[in-house]
């Protein structure tokens, strides 16, 4: 799809009006997909990839964060990310 990046986070780029939905993340939140389907093809959600074998089939948000951080470290992605930087152009 196409993303429209706008500095004003509350601006609706499509010009639609209506109530804004608030999505909450709570302590007991779990994914709605099994970890096997959420994992990257070459980076399983178990100990052979970026996860832990004892994790539940539907991991919680802290486990997903751990997995994604392990992925970023394994593939040296963090060093390519600039946080708090203004995006001037995306090509």
Render pLDDT for 30-46 as a digit per residue (tens, 0 to 9): 889 999 999 999 999 99
> pLDDT > 70: what percent of the chain?
73
Residue extents of the structural domains in the chain: 35-80
Q: Which residues pair with 60 in a beta bridge?
A: 30
Average pLDDT over residues 3-20: 64
Average pLDDT over residues 18-28: 68
Alpha-carbon gap, residue 78 to 46, rounded angstroms: 21
Greater pLDDT, 17 or 47: 47
pLDDT-derived band at 58, boundaries 50, 70, 90: very high
């Amino acid at each position: 799809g196409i993303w429209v990046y706008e500095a004003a986070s509350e601006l609706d780029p499509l010009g639609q009006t209506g109530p804004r939905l608030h999505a909450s993340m709570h302590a007991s939140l779990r994914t709605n997909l099994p970890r096997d389907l959420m994992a990257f093809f070459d980076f399983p959600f178990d100990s052979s990839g970026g996860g832990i074998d004892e994790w539940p089939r539907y991991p919680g948000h802290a486990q997903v964060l751990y997995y994604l951080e392990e992925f970023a470290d394994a593939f040296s992605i963090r060093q390519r990310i600039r946080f708090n930087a203004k995006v001037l152009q995306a090509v």
